[in-house]
Structure 1
Amino acid sequence: MQCPKDKQVSLVESQLAAQLAAHHCPECEGVWIPGAEYESWQVQQPLTESLSALIDQALETNVDRSPFDARAALCPECNAYLARAKVSAKTPFYVERCPNCKGIWCDRGEWNTLQTLSLHTVIDQMFLGEWQTRTREREQLAQERRATIDKLGAELAAQIFELADILKQHPNGDFGVAYLMRRCDK
């Protein structure tokens, strides 16, 4: 079996976790987890906290990104292109999975990051619409916050963010938002 990122290198059998057989690349240090191996290992793992909490945690995490993360890759088992799922928004990195055999490729250090974030048992969830939609929403919110700080300055932006949180919690907060919009629409 050849490395998805460097076809000149053969993958070596290894053990990624207790009862999780994998193959690693001695050159790029990536890890291939066969789909059937992951699936049988995954069902033995304890249930994790809510997916929503895991998404929020992942999107706030900085990671050291592998230089191989940007390379497209082919499945070492069935030669299909690997699909990518963005894991973190702060320092984006991608986990790759074969759409056919469900094998998973993690570039150097990504499996450890997934373990740290308690995401290693829910990799399949990252490829679903809910995860991808929440990731995009969080990225847009972060861009909006940065733009607000750039335009208004840090102090006023902090006050705006605080007021937005207060209005969001208030049962008639929409009235306050409408008032501000009318006042500023001149």
Structure 2
Amino acid sequence: MRCPKEETELTAGQMIPGLPTQDCPDCGGAWIAATDYKRWQAERTNPDAVPAPKVLPSSLETDFQPAPLDGRAGLCPECGYYLVRARINLSKVPFYVERCRSCEGIWCDRGEWPILEQLGIDTHIGSIFLPERQAQLRRLETAARERQATVEKLGPEIANRIFELAALLEAHPQGDFGVAYLMRHLQK
């Protein structure tokens, strides 16, 4: 098997105890065969345990820097299909986990697995590839950009007051009346 990011032969390894991988000696990435991941996952998930989180954490405070080849598309080392990517947000910079649509093997670039563990999604990796999870991430990113733009345009003091007012209006059963009042007042 060859590395999806480099043209290097993968070697047998073990990312964490009990989870065999095929590792790239050049880029430090690891291929996890679907059968190995599912066996490892089954050993760690209790049927009575908490299921995959409905809402993934939107960020994590860390100094992690994605691997230089994280943005490069890759082919599955097992079956040759293109690997699909799921974006994982961090406080400073996102990274991508890749998975094969055909065989469901997983590619983690150097250093990504510990972040997945910290986020609590290492045993639920399949959930990050669901369309509703990716849509949720886009909504969170849009809201964060909108919030940041509000702070930049109005300054932190006014922006924080607006955020407080927005929360009050959202929680009030007649909050739409307050929004309409503000809109009419600002259109004059």
Do both share a fold (TM > 0.5)? yes
3-state SS, counterpart of residue 44 of structure 2: coil
Aligned to 1:74: 75
Residue correspondence of structure 1 range 9-88 to structure 2 within 5 A: 9-46=8-45, 47-48=49-50, 51-53=53-55, 55=56, 57-62=57-62, 63-88=64-89
Q: What amino acid is aligned across from residue 17 of structure 1 in structure 2?
A: I
Aligned length: 183
Contact 2:61 2:90 in 1 (8 A): yes
Contact 1:66 1:108 in 2 (8 A): yes
- Note the residue ranges of structure 1 that are not aligned, 5 or more in a row: none
Aligned to 1:146: 148
* CA displacement, residues 11-42 of structure 1 (integer Å, 9 cap, x when unaligned): 11112233211111111110100011111221
Contact 1:80 1:99 in 2 (8 A): yes
3-state SS, counterpart of residue 32 of structure 1: strand
Contact 1:11 1:25 in 2 (8 A): yes
The whole-number CA distance in structure 2 between the counterparts of 1:185 and 1:169 is: 25
Contact 1:61 1:88 in 2 (8 A): no
Q: Which moved more, 1:74-83 or 1:44-53?
A: 44-53
Q: Which of 124, 128, 131 does residue 129 from structure 1 map onto?
A: 131
* CA displacement, residues 89-120 of structure 1 (integer Å, 9 cap, x when unaligned): 64111000001000000001001110111111
- Note the residue ranges of structure 2 that are not aligned, 5 or more in a row: none
What is the TM-score when the length of structure 2 is the normalising length? 0.90
3-state SS, counterpart of residue 79 of structure 2: coil
RMSD (CA atoms): 1.6
Percent identity, aligned pairs only, is 46
Deviation at 1:50, TM superposition (A): 5.3
3-state SS, counterpart of residue 51 of structure 1: coil
Q: Which moved more, 1:158-167 or 1:44-53?
A: 44-53
3-state SS, counterpart of residue 10 of structure 1: coil
Deviation at 1:51, TM superposition (A): 2.0
Contact 1:167 1:173 in 2 (8 A): yes
3-state SS, counterpart of residue 86 of structure 2: strand
